[in-house]
Amino acid sequence: MFIIDAHLDLSMNAMEWNRDLRLPVQAIREREKGLSDKPDRGKGTVSLPELRKGNIGLVVATQIARYVAPDNPLPGWHSHWQAWAQTQGQLAWYKAMEEAGEMTMIKDAASLEKHISLWQGEAPLGRVKPIGYILSLEGADSIITPGHLEEAYEYGLRAVGPAHYGPGRYANGTDAAGGLNEEGKELLRVMERLNIILDATHLCDDAFWDAMQLFDGTIWASHNNCRALVDHNRQFSDDMIRALIGKDAVIGGALDAWMMVPGWVRGKSDPEVMQCNLEKMIDHLDHICQLAGNTLHVGIGTDLDGAFGKEQTPYDLETIADLQKIPAMLSKRGYSSGDIENIMYGNWLRLLRRTWS
């Protein structure tokens, strides 16, 4: 089945983790043997060949660069200009992958339909199908002025999550509190004017409710699970999920183990011991479907390369290609073929077509 994954940090992995994502996952793991500077060294699950193997032909791919004030202990850049420059380096990697024939940017209805048609047919003789990517910004700290957001739109940016972890320039994110500041409200106004999708992922509760009230454009949550199943402010409460359903949003199920099962301790817990498997993500998706009364508001947004690897993913997933196990699991739970298509790609596709019509 064709699959859309609504959240991958491909350029971060290429540029900061120094991974050649044109290689098979096993080759990347071999290259990282003996390295310990990142917790997921030698344990990665994502590469471009694995996306093709899993028929994951369209992804939402990020730029990410956090600004940190002097009193912020989180890792990040010490000025907005450095953060902006980092995102431009990440953009250059995506452009290099386009030049190599590995990826292609999807930014409007025409490019979307052309790409879907390509993936529904056979690959051109002697060539691989390029992975389509929709460019998203995870955390808006690198947007120096509204003019920089307009520049980003011109080079292809189509979705923005105003916050990431901690306090942000425009909005507060995971493990922080407080509503949108005036700059954040202006950011949303410019996004709405440019028809940039608002990614509600990582918004703290206060900023989330501000955004729901202020933003009238398209909203999605690229990678988020349910607070009712794993109680943490990173997750959505049932009231938040209902608000997103009311906005006709789509929520992507994430495959970061600590978001999937309660009681996970980073760096210590083991996926098999914690019984963290792909079924646990389906539990979260099913919870949203029960709140909605249908399957129209869930999708896949794995975040499988978000600074973790096999040590913090479902034990029955070796690489991202194993997303192909999910349709059979959904079928076993009684989901119809139409429901399964909605979840694996159809809901994201419908949202994009509506936004870009």
pLDDT reading at 336 higher than 90: yes
**Tell me, what's the pLDDT at 151?**
98
pLDDT tens profile 137-172: 999 999 999 999 999 999 999 999 999 999 999 999
pLDDT reading at 125 higher than 80: no
pLDDT reading at 127 higher than 90: no
pLDDT tens profile 183-239: 999 999 999 999 999 999 999 999 999 999 999 999 999 999 999 999 999 999 999
Strand partners of residue 174? 165
pLDDT tens profile 300-320: 999 999 999 999 999 999 999
Cα(286)–Cα(289) distance, rounded to whole angstroms?
5
pLDDT reading at 123 higher than 90: no
3-state helix, strand, coil in the chain (%, to 5): 40, 15, 45
- Structure tokens, 276: 């963290």
Question: How far is C-alpha 244 from the chain's CA centre?
Answer: 17
Query: Which is it for the CA torsion 139, 136, 306, 3, positive or negative?
Result: positive
pLDDT reading at 124 higher than 80: no
**Tell me, what's the pLDDT at 158?**
99
Nearest CA among 205, 264, 207 for reference residue 230: 264
pLDDT reading at 126 higher than 80: no
Average of per-residue pLDDT values in the chain: 97
pLDDT tens profile 61-84: 999 999 999 999 999 999 999 999
**Tell me, what's the pLDDT at 98?**
98
Beta-carbon contacts of residue 313 (< 8 Å; ≥ 6 apart) = 45, 255, 256, 257, 271, 276, 304
Confidence of residue 24 (pLDDT cuts 50, 70, 90): very high
Cα three-residue angle 50-26-266, rounded to 5 degrees: 90
Confidence of residue 49 (pLDDT cuts 50, 70, 90): very high
Give the end-to-end CA distance of the chain in Å, rounded to a whole number. Answer: 25
Cα(21)–Cα(61) distance, rounded to whole angstroms?
13
Residue 43 belongs to domain with CATH number? 3.20.20.140
Count Cβ atoms within 10 A of the Cβ of residue 336 and give its class: 0-12 exposed, 13-18 middle, 19 or more buried: exposed
Number of domains in the chain: 1
Domain hosting residue 107, numbered range: 3-356
Question: If DSSP states are collapsed to H, E and C, what string results for 64-82?
Answer: CCCECCCCCCCCCECCHHH
- Structure tokens, 40: 């997921």
pTM of the entire predicted model: 0.97
**Tell me, what's the pLDDT at 175?**
96
Query: Which is it for the CA torsion 343, 349, 352, 357, positive or negative?
Result: negative
- Mean of pLDDT values over 176-181: 96
Backbone angles phi, psi at 185, to 5 degrees: -65, -40
Integer-rounded Cα radius of gyration of the chain: 19
